Amino acid sequence: MAQGGPLMLTVDYDRLGLLAGDRLLDIGAGFGRHAYEALRRGANVVACDWGWDELSECRTYLDAIRVAGESPESASGSATRADIGRLPFPDHSFDRIIASEILEHIPDDSRAVAELWRVLRPGGSLAVTVPSWLPERICWALSSDYHAPAAEGGHVRIYTEAGMRRLLAGAGFAPGATHHAHALHAPYWWLRCAVGPENDTNPLVRAYHKVLCWDIERQPTVTRVTEQVLNPLIGKSVVVYATRPAREHARTA
């Protein structure tokens, strides 16, 4: 079975409105966790990232899901290297877009969001996830090595939920629902920042990592309930859903 176990999903596909047959762009796909689930739900998925290693593994698993019969025959999945600031797709190419944990890395986030607006069809929907303000602020305070410029390709800014909504609205989107996710991951990253973000051998870091892996694989009730309670307070990620209005007013450049 290809990636058959539970995945750590940040986006709620029901809130995104994903339907079988939809064209989905997963930008900043990484190793493909959101792309895999979308393919299993019958979407026609294009996973994009800038890293060759991530894309290679993502492409392998997308193919494996199809071969294993874990997705409908009508669904398709591909992986493409792309720059979010200059996407290689025609206007209105996609019904849905997921941009997960990517905008905090992009110096010109306004241009990136404008590109997402361009390739999304009128009436389509978007889910953007970025690190939440409070957990991220603590990480930055604990270690300068966690973010840019010390961390090459690291986070260049901290978003508030209101700031993200303004960014999307400025590009022409209509922001809607929002929620937080992965509260159990926030203390893990605080710990990593406290001992050094690259210190994977610290005993406490290794022990906490095992707990997180156990939680993802087993999804026990105790951790699911705990995370639901803590998400509004210390959820590591915030998700903002938005639509490109079916009828659009003329925008100022």
**Would you please indicate which residues are annotated as catalytic (active-site) residues?**
101
Asked whether 239 and 127 are in contact (CB, 8 A), the reply is yes
Q: Which two tokens stand for residue 154?
A: 């690291």
Residues near 175 by beta carbon (within 8 Å), at least 6 away in sequence: 164, 165, 168, 169, 240, 241, 242
Q: Of 85, 89, 98, nearest to 7 (Cα)? A: 98
**What angle (nearest 5°) sits at the alpha carbon of residue 105, between those of residues 100 and 106?**
100
Other C-beta atoms within 10 Å of 29: how many?
Answer: 28
